[in-house]
Amino acid sequence: MSALVEVKNLKKYFETPRGMLHAVDDVSFSIETGKTMGIVGESGCGKSTLGRVIIHLLDSTDGNIYFEGKDITHANARQLRKLRENMKIIFQDPYSSLNPRLTVEQTIMEPLLISGKYSSKACSAEAERLMDMVGIDQRLRLAYPHELDGGRRQRVGIARALALNPRFIVCDEPVSALDVSIQAQVLNLLQDLQDQYELTYMFVTHDLSVVRHISDDISVMYLGVLVETCASKELFRHPLHPYTQALISAVPTIDIHNKKQRVILEGEITSPINPKPGCRFKKRCIYHTDQCDAPQQLEEILPNHFVACCRVREINQL
Amino acid sequence: MIEEGTSFLTVNDLVVEYTSEGSVIHAVNGVSFSLERGKTFGLVGETGAGKTSIAKAILRILPDPPAKIRRGQILLEGEDILKLDEKAMRKIRGRKVSMIFQDPMTALNPIMKVGKQIAEVIKLHNKATNKQAEAEAAQMLELVGIPADRFNEFPHQFSGGMKQRVIIAMALACNPELLLADEPTTALDVTIQAQVLEMINKLKRELDTSMIMISHNLGVVAEICDDLAVIYAGEVVERGSKEAIFDRASHPYTQGLFAAVPTLDEEKERLAPISGLPPDPSNLPIGCHFHPRCPLADEQCKIEKIELREIESGHYCRCIKVAAMEN
**pLDDT digit string, tens, across residues B19-69:** 988 889 999 999 999 999 989 999 999 888 899 999 999 999 998 888 999
Tell me the C-alpha distance between A222 and A237, whole Å. 20
Q: What is the pLDDT of residue A95?
A: 80
Single-letter residue type at B152 = N
- pLDDT tens digit sequence for B265-313: 777 778 888 988 888 888 899 999 999 999 999 998 999 889 999 999 9
For residues A78, A82, A88, A93, the Cα torsion angle rounded to the nearest 10 degrees is 40
Nearest Cα of chain A lies from the Cα of B197 at a distance, in angstroms, of: 10
Q: Is the dihedral of CA B169, B171, B176, B178 positive or negative?
A: negative
Q: What angle do CA B296, B46, B92 make, to 5 degrees?
A: 125
Residue from A189, A235, A254 whose CB has the most chain B CBs within 10 Å, to mutate: A254
The chain B residues in contact with chain A (CB within 8 A) are 46-47, 159-162, 189-195, 197-198, 216-220, 222-223, 242-243, 246-247, 256-265, 268, 270-274, 277-278
Helix or strand (DSSP H, E) at A306: strand A305-307
Contact B191 A42 (CB under 8 A): yes
Instruction: Evaluate if residue B1 carries a pLDDT over 50.
Output: no
From the list A149, A185, A213, which residue is nearest B262 (CB)?
A213
Nearest Cα of chain B lies from the Cα of A184 at a distance, in angstroms, of: 5
Please name which of A239, A192, A195 lies closest in space to residue A218, comparing C-alpha atoms: A239
Instruction: Evaluate if residue B94 carries a pLDDT over 90.
Output: no
Nearest Cα of chain A lies from the Cα of B83 at a distance, in angstroms, of: 36
Single-letter residue type at A99 = N
Tell me the C-alpha distance between A264 and B55, whole Å. 30
Q: A23 to each of A43, A54, A171, A192, how far by Cα in Å?
A: 11, 13, 19, 33
From the list A180, A248, A255, which residue is nearest B257 (CB)?
A180
Instruction: Evaluate if residue B327 carries a pLDDT over 60.
Output: no
Q: What is the pLDDT of residue A264?
A: 82
Contact B277 A210 (CB under 8 A): no
Instruction: For chain B, say whether A64 makes contact (Cβ under 8 Å).
Output: no
| Largest interatomic CA distance in chain B | 67
Q: What is the pLDDT of residue B80?
A: 93
Tell me the C-alpha distance between B144 and B106, whole Å. 19
Residues of chain A with pLDDT under 50: none
Helix or strand (DSSP H, E) at A21: strand A19-32
Nearest Cα of chain A lies from the Cα of B275 at a distance, in angstroms, of: 8
Nearest Cα of chain B lies from the Cα of A7 at a distance, in angstroms, of: 27
Omega before residue B252 within 30° of 0, cis: no
In chain A, the residue whose alpha carbon lies closest to the alpha carbon of B218 is A254
For residues B218, B199, A220, A244, the Cα torsion angle rounded to the nearest 10 degrees is -100
The pTM score is 0.87
Helix (H, G, I), strand (E, B) or coil at A290: helix
Tell me the C-alpha distance between B119 and B128, whole Å. 10
Q: Give the HSE-up count for residue B118: Cα atoms under 13 Å, Cβ half-sphere.
A: 37
Q: Count other Cβ atoms within 10 Å, centred on residue A178.
A: 21
Q: Residues 161-220, chain A: which have Cβ within 8 Å of B?
A: 179-185, 187-188, 191, 206, 208-210, 212-214
Contacts of A210 in chain B (CB under 8 A): 262
**CB-based contact A105:A140 (threshold 8 Å):** no
Question: Which carries the bigger pLDDT value, residue A95 or residue B236?
Answer: B236
Residue from A180, A232, A245 whose CB has the most chain B CBs within 10 Å, to mutate: A180
Omega before residue B147 within 30° of 0, cis: no
In chain A, the residue whose alpha carbon lies closest to the alpha carbon of B220 is A252
In chain B, the residue whose alpha carbon lies closest to the alpha carbon of A41 is B189
**CB-based contact B268:A213 (threshold 8 Å):** yes
In chain B, the residue whose alpha carbon lies closest to the alpha carbon of A151 is B277
Q: What is the pLDDT of residue A257?
A: 86
With both helix axes pointing from N to C terminus, report the angle between B114-125 and B160-172 in degrees, rounded to the nearest 10: 10
Please name which of A46, A48, A133 lies closest in space to residue A91, comparing C-alpha atoms: A48
DSSP code, position A24: E
With both helix axes pointing from N to C terminus, report the angle between B252-260 and A180-197 in degrees, rounded to the nearest 10: 50
- In sequence order, which residues have a C-beta less than 8 Å from that of residue A282 and are 6 or more positions away? A288, A292, A293
From the list B192, B193, B246, which residue is nearest A254 (CB)?
B246
- In sequence order, which residues have a C-beta less than 8 Å from that of residue B185 and are 6 or more positions away? B164, B192, B193, B196, B197, B215, B217, B220
- pLDDT tens digit sequence for B117-171: 999 989 988 888 999 999 999 988 888 888 888 999 999 888 777 888 899 889 8
Instruction: Evaluate if residue B2 carries a pLDDT over 80.
Output: no
Q: Count other Cβ atoms within 10 Å, centred on residue B25.
A: 20
With both helix axes pointing from N to C terminus, report the angle between B160-172 and B190-207 in degrees, rounded to the nearest 10: 10
**CB-based contact B262:A180 (threshold 8 Å):** no
Where b means 16+ CB within 10 Å and e means fewer, B264-275 reads beeeeeebbbbe
Contacts of A272 in chain B (CB under 8 A): none
Query: How buried is A82 (Cβ within 10 angstroms: 0-12 exposed, 13-18 middle, 19+ buried)?
Result: exposed
